[in-house]
Structure 1
Amino acid sequence: MWPGEHQPLGATWGPESTNFAVFAPEATRVEVCLVDDGPEGPVERRYPMAERTLGIWHGALPGVMPGQRYGYRADGPWEPDRGRRFNPAKLLIDPYARAISGEAWLVDDVYAHVYAAPSEGERVRAARMRTRDDRDSLQYVPLSVVTNDVFDWGDDDRVRPRHRWTDTVVYELHVKGFTELHDRVPEHQRGTYAGLGSPAVVDYLRDLGITTVELLPVHEIVPERHLADLGLTNYWGYNSIGYFAPHHGYSSSGDRGNQIAEFKQMVKNLHAAGLEVILDVVYNHTAEGGADGPCLSFRGLDDYGYYKRVEYGRDPYFDVTGCGNTVDTTYHPALRVILDSLRYWVTEFHVDGFRFDLTPALARDRTAIDLRGAFLTTIGQDPVLRHVKLIAEPWDASMDGYQVGRFPPPWVEWNDRYRDTIRDFWRTQSGGIRDVASRLAGSSDLYADDGRSPYASVNFITAHDGFTLRDLVSYNHKHNEANGENNRDGTDNNRSWNCGVEGETDDKVVAALRRKQAANLMATLCLSTGVPMITAGDERGRTQRGNNNAYCQDNELSWVDWRPDDAWLDLYETTKAALRLRREHPALRQRHFLEGTPAVDGGPKDLAWIHPEGREMTDADWFDDRLHTFGMFVSGSPLRDRGPRGEVLRDASFLLWFNAHPEPGKATLPLNDWVDRGEVVLSTDSGHPVGELVEAGSVIAIEPRSLIVVRQA
């Protein structure tokens, strides 16, 4: 082995040699292990790394080509009570591996300590955790792969998002689940990056009207042992181990580095159709779990540094993720892994942004949340990352982790207050419309006080976690028996309504009501101020049969069913029409909070809330908990927004009627000096079809549980 260089970290291929560099500051010996296939299993060649610079072990090997599999072995102190778990019997994944090959078999051999089952007593488990297990893990662990990242991007050289936040519509999907059952995707590409980038899928996404695909985790994934014991797996993928490597299980072209080019081609195809790609990233914890978890990578190189402790210098781990460990972003090498990973995905894979899982866990200084701390500050000043789209999941698994409305610009946030309020409104449990109006208008109570814009709110009705939209209107209770936890897992706070019957039914009245309720919820989402996020398949009526925690269901329960037989295609048309209205009319996607005052002297108010009697809402109306019918007037002539040269923009005005009441009602269309006639452009009310003209001052009947959108004619 030649001395090599200590930068960059990872395996860097060159025509003369491949350089290896890995951070392990307290190790006493580190070996690079090249692994090849042999007649009786993997064959390993070990090369000690003699050079160490700033805690980084490094060396270069001539003749090592892309596609070569490798790993590290690190020796050093065995002091598990002090966070030092070096064990040279365990082959370790390179934290900077660009590709990872093979599966992890979580047998006893992959643990640095002698494994003890959860059923064994605490005293026995504690004793075994202090005892080093010297069995070799080679045949049970994934292997890092030397890669060559060359790719022809053509004219796809843009490294900034393609759509302004106000124009953005997010579509959250699972790479495998979206195409696994797609009959128009070539069979060998189903469930893969190539399948997601195929013409049939790209055309569907573009025609639907979304702008941005948000991929559930695609970093290399290792499932938890308890799931494997149940014959299940971590389908969602929130259990990362390789922050630079596209998960090999979603590759149709192999796992010896081929997954890199396939992922890039997928991004290139989506970009060519005008679609952005955002990654859901899980930097808050790793797949190594708690102190009793397997030794796969970070734990065997620098356990004391990478993971937070309750008491620094000792165990147990500080866990605000619910997954056993929390990555310590106050530790500069751990923070560097995250930042290097983020930049790599932007510069090498051309992704347009990230959604950060359990972001407050990353924003902690020691144990307390610090929104001015190292993690947010370094991203905010980074010359690459400060320009991409940054979405926070603004809570973690702790009592103090709920931070909705508190993240600094340019971050935007998942807004669960929107989800809960809109769900409650359409099941007549909102207690009036005071909070409903705030959510429809961009949640100024959460974001305006610190100078942020309405698009700081990522609005959603459903997400991967919880009921699908169809199940939200079909089930009152979770049905998670297939998860193997006796239906104890998953939330009980669903805010759902089954329309009178639990689960699937042949009752045509109930079925029709469910479709109408789903259409009401979807149209409300698409036309609310803020950034709408749609969960893949919701627009088609995808069901998980009442399972609200399908994280371990890698099967037809979770995959999108593309057959037309049971699809809610009328819901698809409503979604498409609502997104088209949003796209074509700036009045429905505001950049600034509306103020309820004229945008210009003598003009109409930019926003007004209308009582069914045709007048504006009074203070008493806002506190009427029986009020479930109201109108929302949005003026488009002129808009508070301005064009690129500061010119005044004009658009049609809109009146949206929301009636969540179970009984029919009437509404008086307000008389005013600016709009005297309107055209129905979207409706879930059969009595008011699209194209109907209505006059100001007239009284219209409204069906129970209906939404009507009227545009200035």
Structure 2
Amino acid sequence: MSEKLEIIKEKPYPLGCYIDYDKSLVVRTVFEGDKNCGIALYKGTSNDGETALKIKLPKSLKRGSIYAARIKGISNVDEYSSYNYFVDSTYFCDSYAKHLIGLETFGLDVPDCDIRAKLDNRSTLKASEYSFDWENDSFPEVPYEDSFVYLLHVRGFTKSSGSGVPAQHRGTFLGILDKIPYLKSIGVTTVEIMPAIEMNEIETPRTHGGILSKELLYSKDGSISNTNSIKPRLNFWGYKKGFYFAPRTAYCSNPYDAENEFKFFIKTMHANGLEVIMQFFFEESENESLIIDALRYWRCSYHVDGFHLKGARIPIRLITKEPLFSDAKIWYDWFEDGPVPSKRYLAIYNNSFLYAGRRFLKSDDNSAGDFFHAMIANGNTHGVINYICDYEGFRLSDLVSYEHKHNEENGENNKDGTDNNLSWNCGIEGRTRKQSILELRKKQVKNILTMLLLAQGTPMIFSGDEFCSSQGGNNNPYCQDNETGWVDWKALEKNTEIFEYFKFLIRFRFEHNILHNASAFKLMDYISCGYPDLSCHGREAWRPDFTGHSHILGMLYCGKYDKDDKNSPFIYVCYNMYWMKEEIALPKLPDGLRWKMISDTERVDKIDSIEKKDKAVEKMSERSVRIYMSEIDPDNKSKRKLKRK
């Protein structure tokens, strides 16, 4: 280093590196130990040592483990576009980097030494957090009781050619924007995104003849190249260590302006009333202060609506007490008891609904009671996110088509993925042309969708499950950047009956407040109307059967408890998950009302063609769900008039 530099102390926070307005370089970073360390600046993207300016940081700048320096006197400092840190002869990227260079192409095997942090030049305000015009952006803040969550993988959601997304947008944030009309048409309020931070998806970079490969190992159609018969391990899902402050450049149509593209994505989603929840996975060894700093950055700089936190050692207590997050949605597996917040922003990701719903669906004994409790689970101080299928485990269509995982193509001898799928294949494993099996599977999908979308709490569905996109029995496609791991949009045309039923359920749920309450049911008549807010029934009215061998349940929702409309109808949902026909009671309604059956998963009739019901007991088909709704009885009304005369 021939330049005469002036290196002075700086305040140690916030961590990061940038060129300041006075053309000085500000460096704040953590170096453990007591070795020679510093920063290397680059004018281009190559790793040619002759183009790097290497600056050693004196130990006198160290406070704790943080080196904080302002470096003055760098000639033509604006010509430097990227940097790396070094300790002795080892070079590595800044963990606080806001934009990285080298990971723009998904599936490219990039050596760690070729990954660089982009240098932010604040004097030009290019690609910085100060240059984007957010206009009147605001958080939608949809209450949990009015929310419908749609979980997706950014690349997998629109990568398929059948997605209807322009080729240049497939697999990107802009591809999601192209699908906004679809998302709104099915009632989505909140989009949850699997990890979308910057990372190298190749788990272990491979060498070819002693030379680090830069060949594109995964082609655009998802196939794996056979270079020297080496198959690298690809982490398609993204649950691994990454750069927690930078959006994924490979998910951008213009990866060299990832910051502004992601901000445009959030701004457009908000303009359409859609929330964005980011999943963050942190390894057990991750520093707690880094976790808090990263979440703060995404909340402030990118206006995300909240976070679903995953990992073994999340400082959840600190996060929930962080003032900046008092109005951010935080999702986690559990929360400690504490003061009740003024609004419900916390939510539990409720996997107990998954287990209870799946067991009841496949007619397990001792499941009716657990199913009922899962259906009414709701939090007064926090939300409850319900789901039947997640990214882990079987997709919804595979849940009724496979009893065993089929993960051979993952390359781990089918040993990966859970064996506890709680699934039933309806009689034949996997694909079949047998019509009776296909009809039963269709009915089971409708049954489980009814459970999910008529449960209290907030429903979440994994992208493509609404029209039975399949993974071919693979219950752990974490490495499948291909048709297995992507949403199969062609399935939408093949499964229109299920998709239409799904849309009916969404409409029905949000048309009736009693089906999506803000608080838990009390299971009692606390307004003295003659009916509890929710009551259970079985073969006999008011006598539910929760014994070990019971597979039927009737749930009566009293519309008189609707805060907005006391004349809302009664709704009665009957579940028969037994493998034989069963009788179930129709509870008596107040005078002047009668039951009308509006849906039966056994049938494909249009809703308006289903007949009225006047019986006290109905016989239900095996493995079916019915929905009844009260209506005015014109015959009863005319009788009352005659009596008055």
Q: TM-score range by the shorter chain?
A: 0.7 to 0.9
Q: Deviations over 1:49-68 (max 9, x none)?
A: 34334532123466545982
Which residue is 1:388 aligned to? Answer: 328
Is 1:327 paired with 2:285?
Answer: yes
Measure the CA separation in 2 of the matches of 1:208 and 1:698.
Answer: 35
Q: Report the counterpart of residue 239 of structure 1 in structure 2.
A: 240
3-state SS of 1:34 partner: strand
Equivalent residues of 1:66, 1:145 under 8 A apart? no
Q: Distance in 2 between matches of 1:597 and 1:675?
A: 23
- Specify the structure having the higher radius of gyration (Cα): 2
* Distance in 2 (alpha carbons) for counterparts of 1:669 and 1:675: 16
State yes or no: 1:70 paired with 2:103.
Answer: no
Per-residue CA deviations over 1:123-142 (Å, capped at 9, x if unaligned) read xxxxxxxxxxxxxx634x45
Alignment partner of 1:55 out of 65, 86, 91:
65
1:185-234 Cα distance to aligned partner (Å, 9 max, x none): 22111101111122xx0111111111110000011123364596633410
Q: What amino acid maps onto 1:383 in structure 2? A: P
**Contact 2:406–2:414 (CA<8 Å) still a contact in 1?**
yes
The 1-side partners of 2:481 and 2:453 are apart by: 29
Structure 1 residue 413: Cα displacement: 1.6
Q: 2:522 aligns with which of 595, 602, 607?
A: 595
The amino acid across from 1:56 in the alignment is: I
Measured after TM superposition, the shift of residue 13 of structure 1 is: 4.3
Give the secondary structure class of the aligned counterpart of 2:8: coil
Contact conserved, 2:514 with 2:561, CA < 8 A, in 1? no
**Residue from 33, 37, 45 that aligns with 2:44:** 37
Gaps of 5+ in 2: 121-126, 207-229, 632-645
Deviation (angstroms), 1:9: 1.0
Specify the alignment match of 2:124 in structure 1: none
Question: Where in structure 2 are the equivalents of 1:386-425 lying within 5 Å?
Answer: 386-392=326-332, 394=333, 411-425=346-360
Conservation of the 8 A alpha-carbon contact between 2:365 and 2:550 = no
Query: Cα gap change, 1:565/1:39 in structure 2, threshold over 3 Å: closer, same or farther?
Result: closer
* Pairwise CA distance, 1:267: 1.2
The Cα shift of 1:686 comes to: 1.2
Deviation at 1:238, TM superposition (A): 0.4
Matched AA of 1:327? S
| Alpha-carbon offset, residue 547 of structure 1 | 0.4
Which deviations, in whole Å up to 9, do the C-alpha atoms of 1:320-369 show, x marking residues without a partner? xxxxxx235xxxxx2221111111111111111111113xx225xxxxxx
**1:72 aligned counterpart, secondary structure:** strand
**Counterpart Cα distance in 1 of 2:117 and 2:83:** 6
Question: CA, structure 1 residues 178+225, in 2 after alignment: closer, same or farther (shift >3 Å)?
Answer: closer
- The structural deviation recorded for 1:697 is 4.1
1:138–1:411 CA distance, 2 compared to 1 (3 A): same
SS at match of 2:37: strand
How many residue pairs were aligned? 580
1:152 paired with 2:153, answer: no
Aligned to 2:551: 628
The structural deviation recorded for 1:431 is: 2.3
1:147-185 per-residue CA deviation (whole Å, 9 max, x = no partner) reads 512211111144xx5201111111110000001125432
Query: Which range is displaced more, 486-495 or 239-248?
Result: 239-248
Q: Tell me, yes or no, if structure 1 residue 102 matches structure 2 residue 102.
A: yes
2:43·2:79 contact (CA, 8 Å) conserved in 1? no
| 13-22 or 652-661, which deviates more | 13-22
2:301 paired residue number:
348
> In structure 2, do the counterparts of structure 1 residues 608 and 178 end up closer, same or farther at CA, with 3 Å as the change threshold?
same
Cα distance in 1, alignment partners of residues 325 and 492 from structure 2:
44
SS at match of 2:44: strand
* d(CA) in 1 for partners of 2:578, 2:368: 12
Measured in 2, the distance between the counterparts of 1:482 and 1:418 equals 30
- Aligned pairs for 1:231-380 within 5 A: 231-255=232-256, 258-283=257-282, 285=283, 326-327=284-285, 334-358=287-311, 361-363=312-314, 375-380=315-320
Any gaps of 5 or more consecutive residues in structure 1?
75-87, 111-136, 286-325, 329-333, 364-374, 395-403
Name the aligned partner's letter for residue 628 of structure 2.
V
- The structural deviation recorded for 1:20 is 2.0
Q: What secondary structure sits across from 2:390 in the alignment? A: coil
Q: CA deviation at 1:425?
A: 0.7
Q: Which residue of 1 aligns with 2:219?
A: none
Asked whether the 8 Å contact 2:45–2:82 carries over to 1, the reply is no
Indicate if the aligned counterparts of 1:222 and 1:240 stay in contact, CA closer than 8 A.
no
| Conserved 8 A contact 2:203-2:232 | no
- Paired with 1:178 and 1:41, the residues of 2 have a C-alpha distance of 38
For 2:28, what is the secondary structure of its paired residue?
strand
Same amino acid, percent of matched pairs: 29
Letter matched to residue 258 of structure 2: Q
Which amino acid letter does the alignment assign opposite residue 95 of structure 1? S
Q: 1:711 aligns with which of 607, 629, 641?
A: 629
Deviation at 1:635, TM superposition (A): 1.1
CA distance in structure 2 between the aligned counterparts of 1:216 and 1:336, rounded to whole angstroms: 22
Q: Report the counterpart of residue 28 of structure 2 in structure 1.
A: 21
The CA distance in 1 between the partners of 2:33 and 2:537, in whole Å, is: 68
Query: In structure 1, the residue corresponding to 2:91 is in which secondary structure?
Result: coil
1:660 shift after superposition: 1.0
8 Å CA contact 2:536, 2:555 repeated in 1: yes
Q: Which amino acid is the alignment partner of residue 113 of structure 2? A: L
Q: Secondary structure at the match of 1:637?
A: helix
Partner residue in 1 for 2:91: 91
1:654 matched to 2:578? The reply is: no
- Asked if 2 retains the 8 angstrom alpha-carbon contact of 1:197 and 1:267, the reply is no
Q: Deviations over 1:291-321 (max 9, x none)?
A: xxxxxxxxxxxxxxxxxxxxxxxxxxxxxxx
Which residue in 1 is equivalent to 2:197? 219
- Measure how far apart 1:525 and its partner are: 0.3
CA, structure 1 residues 109+244, in 2 after alignment: closer, same or farther (shift >3 Å)? closer
Q: How far apart are the structure 1 equivalents of 2:605 and 2:366?
A: 27
Residue of structure 2 aligned with 1:3, choices 2, 8, 11: 8
SS at match of 1:98: coil
Shift of 1:630: 1.9
- TM-score, normalising length: structure 1: 0.76
Please tell me whether the aligned partners of residues 529 and 560 of structure 2 are also in contact (alpha carbons under 8 angstroms). no
Report the secondary structure of 2:323's partner residue.
coil
Residue in structure 2 matched with residue 46 of structure 1 by the alignment: 54
1:374-416 deviations in Å (ceiling 9; x for gaps): x233222222112111111x2xxxxxxxxx5767665322222
Answering whether residue 166 of structure 2 is matched by residue 190 of structure 1, we say no
Task: Write the deviation string for residues 492-517 of structure 1: whole angstroms up to 9, x where unpaired.
Answer: 11100111111111111111211111
